[in-house]
Structure 1
Amino acid sequence: MTTELELRDAHVRYGPLEALHGVTLPVPRATLTLLLGRNGSGRTTTLRALAGTAPLSQGRVLWRGRDITRLTAHARTALGLTLVPDREAVFGLLTVAENLQLAARQGDFTPALDAYPELRPLLPRTAGTLSGGEQRMLALSRALLSPAHTLLLDEPTQGMSPTVAARTYALLAALPKTLLLAEQQLPPALRAAPRPVLVHELRRGAVTFSGEAAEVGQDSE
C-alpha cells in the first residue's frame, strides 16, 4: 500500500507533560484506518499532530514522502488534508445552509442532504442551536463536500442515534478517500466493512497494537 500520511517517532508535549511518546503511524492512501484508545490515550493529539494544530517536540510528519512537519495547519489543508475535531467543528453563528454553502463546490450541497436528509428541515437554523448529533452530521457533511482527499475524523458519530451512526459508518466505509478515524472502541459496523479496515491502538501515548479490524478481540471493545 502507498502511504499517504505518516507520523514518524512523533513526540508531543503540553507543558511538562508528554502526550505522545514516539508514535509512528502510517496512513495508507485510499484506505480506512482506525485509531483506537480510551480518553487520555493520545488519539486526539495524534490527529492534531497530523493536521498541524499540535506541534511536534520531536519526530516528523510526512505527506506522500514529503516532510511537512514545519507546514502550518492552513498549508496542510491546502494540500487536501481536513481535520474534523470532536467539538467546535461547525460555524455556530451561521445557519446550517451557510455552513454547507461554504464547503460546497459552486454552492451545491445536495450530496450532503442526500447523505443526511435530517439536515433539510434544519437549513435555516443557526448551527450553534443544533443538538450534538445534528452538529456532527453537519460537520461530516462539510467534510464530504470539501475537495479534501484525506479526512481525519475525531469520534465522527458522537451524539448520533444508532441508526444514523450505522448509516455514517457505511458511508465512510464506501468513501473513496483516505480516512483516519479516532474512536474509543471498534465500531461493530466496521468489523464487517466492504474493504479492509486497518487498526492501531494507543495506550498512554504509545501504539500497542497494529493490525486489521478482524484481529481486534471482542474483549478489547
Structure 2
Amino acid sequence: MKKLLIFSLIGILFLTGLTASAQFSRPISIGAGAGATFNLTDLGNVETKFAFYGELDYLITPFISVGLHGEKGALEGNGYESEFKNRYFAGNINGKIRVGQFLEGAKNYSYYTLQANTLSRILSNVYVGAGAGLVKNRIATQLSAQYRKAIIDQGGELSDKFGQIHFVVPLNVGVDIPFGRTLYGPQWAINVNYQHTLTFNDNLDGIINKNNDQYGFVSVGVKYALFNRK
C-alpha cells in the first residue's frame, strides 16, 4: 500500500511538470560563513587574512536567486619596505544563476528533487553571479620615504583616509551542496564560494595609480531555507 501511494505521488508530480513554478514555495534562505582574503594591490606581497559574512537570498526560481551580502574582514600587503592594513566592511546586492536552470529534468523541481542522485543535485547547484555594492575602507599605511616619492613622481597619489566608501562589483562562482531533502527542495546547504571584487577608484591600500585594486575572498558557509513547505 505504501509503495502504491509513493508511485502514485511520483506519477502525479511527473504529469504536472508544466506547473512546477506553482509547486515551488520560493523560500528565503539565510547564510553565514568565513574564509580567507587576498588582495591584488600596489604592494604585491600578499598576506592572506580572515573575513566573515552573512547573507540573505530569495529564490526567484529553484535555481535563480537575488540576495544581500554583508562582509567584514581584513586585507594586508607589503613590499618596498612599506605595508598597508585595511580593516574593511562591504555590502552588496547580487544575483546568481545555477546550472540546474538549464537542465531539462529540473523543470519540474519537485519531481527532480525526488529522483535526482547526489551528484546531479550538487552539479545542478553550481553557480555564477555578479552584483554591485560598497566597501568602507579603514586603511593604515607605513610607507617608506623612497616609495612615497616614487609614487608621486609617477603621477600617483597617497590616500589613507579613514572610513572612505567606494563602489565595487563582486563576481562569484561557487556551489551549494544541499542536504536535508524535502519535497520542495533542500532545507540546508553547505556553500563553497569564491568572490572576486573589482574596485573603480584604486584605493584598497592607500595608494592610487593607474591600476584599480582588486581582492579575492574564498569562503565556506552554511545556508538554511526559511518558509520551506513540507
Q: Higher relative contact order by CA 8 Å / sep ≥ 6: 1 or 2?
A: 1
TM-score (norm 2): 0.21
Q: Which has the larger radius of gyration?
A: 2
Query: Which of the pair is proportionally richer in helix?
Result: 1
TM-score (norm 1): 0.22
Query: Which of the pair is proportionally richer in strand?
Result: 2
